[in-house]
């Protein structure tokens, strides 16, 4: 298997198994691994800027994104946009690391990895991604890659979001919902100091005709006489409601909404609910505010949308692989002349034609096979510290290997019942079961012909 570059010392394979009967194209796959362990071993940079991901050929770079809060942790979350995973089949990609001189690759790009992504860089909402004040007014600040919701339209309880009859105030996402998708976002409630403040923020799927919210995952402070940090009270999928739970102030929580055609699932700090809705026309940041009371600020760190199938692909991480220097192969005949038109196979890769001498990037303990007409296949185990390998192919190998092959072939025929005991003889037949290949006369220990108490056999 080719190697991206000698600058990257390590990689691990990621086997992705498609569990559905349709091709998955441009599909986002999550690879979870222990990055802090690689950092502590001196194999990867603490900021993960040395990480690169390639397709199955080992060299074609793929777009990926590492969730920033998981870098240098034992639960590093790396998302890869995989071009194709065949129906009921699999694909293997490679994660490279171990280049101390690397800088962040342009392929580490969340906007090219996901269907939609925003981590709120800058000081204003990106109007390509959002339509502010799509319903009523939402007052916000963008700073330090965080969207802080500070207030919204109020009129007694008219714009609080209780259920699927309410709209609240909305910032519309400029993205058309997919039939099958997942939206994930990270949200927190900063520490509050005003017990009279009320506020509710989340992301929901809304109906285009009247802007009512029909699928909603939120956090809120809903009691005016004390400070609260709550989630779930106003989570709903149409008439399916969630439970109320307390959350920790200043802690980022992941909220997940899955859409499978008209079926929805919400997974957030309050737990898990599922239900159906046919009113999911668009997506919005939905804000509930209550007239006569200050607003409780709530913050969103990032929002992303990815494709989804059920069940999702299975992901298996293989053992770490290490590259050695380029190995130069000199393939000579018995007279020391370089051989041409060689067929070469490295590990599990395809056979390719080469002329001696030739160079190959070799992984540690990789089997290299070389075939040349009039000679037999040479098989060797190449160590990473090997830089030059000289092979002399001699005609004498042919006779030895032919004898071994003949013996193996006879054993195979015996194991497949292509033999017979007849008239004190053991007869081994060809694959047609008729043509005799070898006959042995059988004798007992007294030297008498026998087919029962066999002590010796001699060519007939």
Mean pLDDT lowest among 314-323, 364-373, 447-456:
447-456
pLDDT higher than 90, residue 322: no
- Predicted TM-score of the model (pTM): 0.75
The per-residue pLDDT for range 257-298, each reduced to its tens digit, is 999 999 999 999 999 999 999 999 999 999 999 999 999 999
Question: Is 266 a domain residue?
Answer: yes
Question: Is 313 a domain residue?
Answer: no
- Write b or e for each residue in 17-36: b if 16 or more Cβ atoms lie within 10 A of its Cβ, otherwise e: ebeeeeebeebbbebebebb
What is the torsion angle, in degrees rounded to the nearest 10, for the CA atoms of residue 265, residue 267, residue 271 and residue 272? Answer: 20
Q: Summarize the confidence of residues 188-217 as an average pLDDT.
A: 97
Q: How many CB atoms lie within 10 A of CB 133?
A: 15
Q: Summarize the confidence of residues 315-330 as an average pLDDT.
A: 86
Question: What pLDDT sits at residue 60?
Answer: 97
Determine the structural domain holding residue 344 and report its residue range: 323-394
Q: Is the peptide bond before 311 cis (omega within 30 degrees of 0)?
A: yes
Pair 259, 129 in one domain: yes
Pairing of strands 321-332, 388-392: parallel
Question: Is 318 a domain residue?
Answer: no
Q: What percentage of the chain reaches a pLDDT higher than 90?
A: 69
Q: Tally the C-alpha atoms within 13 A of residue 129's C-alpha that lie toward its C-beta.
A: 16
Question: What pLDDT sits at residue 394?
Answer: 63
Pair 103, 205 in one domain: no
The per-residue pLDDT for range 363-380, each reduced to its tens digit, is 666 778 888 877 666 666
pLDDT-derived band at 412, boundaries 50, 70, 90? low
Q: Summarize the confidence of residues 306-317 as an average pLDDT.
A: 97
Q: How many CB atoms lie within 10 A of CB 171?
A: 24
pLDDT-derived band at 427, boundaries 50, 70, 90? confident
Q: In terms of Cα–Cα distance, which of 433, 442, 438, 451 is closest to 410?
A: 438
DSSP three-state, residue 408: helix
Question: Is 2 a domain residue?
Answer: no
Question: What pLDDT sits at residue 397?
Answer: 47
Question: Is 317 a domain residue?
Answer: no
Of 109, 139, 170, which residue constitutes the final position of a domain? Answer: 109
Q: In terms of Cα–Cα distance, which of 283, 261, 278 is closest to 129?
A: 283
Q: In terms of Cα–Cα distance, which of 354, 392, 398 is closest to 373?
A: 398
Pair 62, 169 in one domain: no
Average pLDDT along the chain: 89
Pair 128, 230 in one domain: yes
Of 89, 109, 129, which residue constitutes the final position of a domain? Answer: 109
Question: What pLDDT sits at residue 339?
Answer: 87
Q: In terms of Cα–Cα distance, which of 128, 109, 147 is closest to 301?
A: 147
Contact (Cβ atoms closer than 8 angstroms) between residue 105 and residue 61: yes
Pairing of strands 282-288, 64-66: unpaired
CA dist 448 and 40 (Å) reads 75
Q: Tally the C-alpha atoms within 13 A of residue 286's C-alpha that lie toward its C-beta.
A: 30
Question: What pLDDT sits at residue 235?
Answer: 98
Pair 390, 403 in one domain: no
Contact (Cβ atoms closer than 8 angstroms) between residue 335 and residue 301: no
Mean pLDDT lowest among 96-105, 223-232, 257-266, 384-393:
384-393
DSSP three-state, residue 407: helix
pLDDT higher than 70, residue 460: no
CATH code assigned at 375:
2.60.40
The per-residue pLDDT for range 378-408, each reduced to its tens digit, is 666 666 556 677 777 765 444 555 565 666 6
pLDDT higher than 90, residue 425: no
Of 109, 137, 161, which residue constitutes the final position of a domain? Answer: 109
Pair 191, 225 in one domain: yes
- What is the phi/psi pair of residue 38, to 5°? -65, -40
Pair 98, 123 in one domain: no
Task: List, in sequence order, every residue forming a beta bridge with 172; answer none if it has no partner.
Answer: 131, 284
Contact (Cβ atoms closer than 8 angstroms) between residue 53 and residue 93: yes
Task: List, in sequence order, every residue forming a beta bridge with 200; answer none if it has no partner.
Answer: 220, 288
Q: How many CB atoms lie within 10 A of CB 202?
A: 29
Pair 239, 344 in one domain: no
Pair 229, 327 in one domain: no
Question: What pLDDT sits at residue 448?
Answer: 80
Pairing of strands 130-135, 169-173: antiparallel
Pair 29, 150 in one domain: no
Question: What pLDDT sits at residue 451?
Answer: 64
pLDDT higher than 90, residue 22: yes
Question: Is 133 a domain residue?
Answer: yes
Contact (Cβ atoms closer than 8 angstroms) between residue 173 and residue 117: no
How many folded domains does the chain comprise?
A: 4
Contacts with 408 (C-beta within 8 Å, 6 or more apart), sequence order: none
Residue spans of beta strands (DSSP E) within 21-89: 24-33, 52-54, 64-66, 76-85
Highest mean pLDDT among 52-66, 320-334, 367-381: 52-66
Question: Is 123 a domain residue?
Answer: yes
CA–chain centroid gap for 127, Å, is 31
Pair 206, 354 in one domain: no
CA dist 220 and 326 (Å) reads 60
Question: Is 4 a domain residue?
Answer: no
- Burial classification of residue 425, based on how many CB atoms lie within 10 Å of its CB (0-12 exposed, 13-18 middle, 19 or more buried): middle
Pair 148, 205 in one domain: yes
């Amino acid at each position: 298997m080719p190697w991206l570059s000698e600058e990257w010392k390590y990689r691990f394979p990621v086997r992705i198994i498609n569990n559905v009967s349709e091709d998955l194209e441009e599909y986002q796959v999550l690879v979870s691994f222990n990055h802090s362990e690689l950092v502590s071993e001196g194999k990867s940079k603490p900021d993960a800027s040395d990480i690169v991901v390639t397709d199955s050929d080992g060299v074609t770079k793929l777009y990926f994104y590492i969730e920033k809060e998981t870098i240098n942790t034992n639960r590093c979350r790396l998302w890869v946009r995989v071009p194709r995973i065949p129906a009921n089949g699999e694909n293997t990609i490679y994660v490279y690391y171990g280049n101390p001189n690397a800088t962040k690759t342009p392929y580490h790009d969340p906007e090219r990895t996901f269907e939609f992504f925003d981590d709120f860089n800058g000081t204003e909402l990106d109007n390509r991604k959002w339509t502010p004040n799509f319903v009523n007014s939402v007052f916000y600040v963008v700073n330090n890659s965080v969207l802080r919701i500070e207030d919204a339209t109020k009129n007694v309880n008219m714009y609080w979001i209780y259920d699927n009859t309410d709209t609240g105030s909305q910032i519309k996402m400029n993205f058309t919902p997919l039939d099958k998708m997942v939206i994930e976002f990270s949200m927190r409630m900063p520490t509050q100091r005003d017990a009279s403040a009320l506020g509710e923020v989340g992301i929901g799927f809304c109906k285009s005709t009247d802007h009512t919210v029909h699928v909603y995952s939120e956090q809120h402070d809903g009691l005016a006489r004390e400070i609260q940090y709550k989630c779930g009270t106003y989570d709903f999928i149409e008439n399916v409601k969630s439970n109320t739970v307390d959350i920790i102030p200043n802690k980022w929580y992941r909220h997940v909404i899955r859409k499978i055609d008209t079926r929805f699932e919400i997974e957030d700090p309050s737990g898990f609910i599922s239900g159906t809705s046919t009113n999911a026309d668009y997506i919005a940041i939905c804000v509930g505010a209550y007239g006569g009371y200050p607003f409780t600020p709530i913050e969103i760190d990032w929002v992303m949308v990815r494709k989804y199938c059920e069940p999702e692909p299975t992901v298996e991480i293989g053992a770490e692989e290490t590259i050695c220097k380029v190995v130069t192969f000199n393939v000579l005949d018995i007279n020391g002349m370089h051989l041409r038109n060689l067929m070469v196979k490295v590990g599990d890769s395809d056979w390719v034609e080469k002329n001696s001498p030739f160079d190959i990037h070799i992984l540690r303990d990789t089997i290299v096979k070389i075939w040349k007409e009039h000679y037999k296949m040479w098989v060797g185990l190449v160590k990473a510290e090997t830089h030059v390998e000289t092979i002399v192919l001699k005609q004498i190998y042919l006779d030895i290997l032919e004898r071994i092959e003949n013996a193996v072939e006879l054993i195979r025929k015996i194991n497949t019942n292509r033999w017979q005991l007849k008239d004190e003889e053991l007869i081994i037949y060809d694959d047609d079961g008729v043509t005799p290949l070898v006959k042995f006369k059988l004798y007992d220990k007294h030297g008498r012909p026998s087919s029962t108490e066999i002590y010796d056999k001699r060519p007939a």
